[in-house]
Structure 1
Amino acid sequence: MNYLERDTFGMYKGLSNGGSGPSRRQGPGPELMGADTLVGNAVCNRNSENLGDIKEIMLDMRSGRIGYAVLSFGGFLGLGEKLFAVPWNALKLDTDNKRFVLDVEKDRLDEAPGFDKNHWPDMADPSWAKGIHDYYGTKLYVDDAHS
């Protein structure tokens, strides 16, 4: 289910059908979106291979920023499913296909650091965060203020 289908408040009304909703440059829309509408959205790579879907969005309560999207991958009916914390800045919204794109090959995601739903990592640990950002080739957003 994509963000347009999850929009129970009508905030994206007009985005896909030329209706009277907000323009594509204003929120709600591609630049400012409701978090609840993004959970469940598909994630694929540049080759349009399915990489899973967003299960959760992790907010950094100290900075007020989105830290990670928790992505599910693999398994069947929830069994054997692996979860991944993907830096938010590694995801790009594909508004044409109503999904996110993660620039990673499917086999690389198989090897990515992940966890199961009963054993979440300490996402507040700076060394864990550095490892995740290094893996995906993204910059820690806490470094933005020092650039």
Structure 2
Amino acid sequence: MTQTDAAPGVTTGKPLIESDRVEGTAVYDPTGDHLGSIKRLMIEKISGKVTYAVMSFGGFLGIGADEHTIPWSKLTYDTGLGGYCTDITEEQLRGAPSFYRERDDYDWTDRDRERELLDYWGAPYYWGI
């Protein structure tokens, strides 16, 4: 595999990565077990900062998988694993507030919902207070 053909999540030695190459990258729990994978990124329009990763977990071959929005600050890239590590457990994911577009209550303009999400994960508000 050449440097330009690297699989999602594999470090290529470049400091930046295209968003479509992040999609599908594995996420590992605190014990190093595969927890899920990145489905999409949420980017704040004005600052250009990645604020959230929507993570898919469970199911089989994408069928029956759940999605949860994780603050980007909860993910750290691990070159040895070729994926992202987090201190989030599967139990925490199952109890997390849902916030994704397949739900009727999807509204990314609702700061109260974002506060609920960020408070649940113990993550700072990306927009400042």
TM-score by length of 2: 0.82
Q: For 1:133 and 1:116, how far apart are their aligned partners in 2? A: 14
> In structure 2, do the counterparts of structure 1 residues 4 and 132 end up closer, same or farther at CA, with 3 Å as the change threshold?
farther
User: Whose radius of gyration is greater, 1 or 2?
Assistant: 1
Q: For 1:130 and 1:94, how far apart are their aligned partners in 2? A: 28
Please give the secondary structure, in 2, of the residue aligned with 1:107: helix
Q: Which one of 5, 8, 30 corresponds to residue 7 of structure 2?
A: 5
> In structure 2, do the counterparts of structure 1 residues 33 and 100 end up closer, same or farther at CA, with 3 Å as the change threshold?
same
Q: For 1:79 and 1:117, how far apart are their aligned partners in 2? A: 17
CA contact (8 A) 1:82 1:114 kept: no
Higher relative contact order (CA 8 A, sep 6+): 2
C-alpha RMSD over aligned residues: 2.4
TM-score by length of 1: 0.73
Which 4+ stretches in 1 moved above 4 angstroms? Answer: none
Residue type matched to 1:114 in 2?
A: S
Deviation at 1:117, TM superposition (A): 5.8
* Partner residue, 2:117: 132
* Partner residue, 1:41: 25
Please give the secondary structure, in 1, of the residue aligned with 2:127: helix
Q: For 1:55 and 1:128, how far apart are their aligned partners in 2? A: 20
CA contact (8 A) 1:83 1:117 kept: no
Residue type matched to 2:122 in 1?
A: G
Q: For 2:38 and 2:81, how far apart are their aligned partners in 1? A: 15
Deviation at 1:116, TM superposition (A): 6.5
Counterparts in 2 of 1:78-89, with a 5 A limit?
78-89=62-73
Q: For 1:78 and 1:48, how far apart are their aligned partners in 2? A: 21
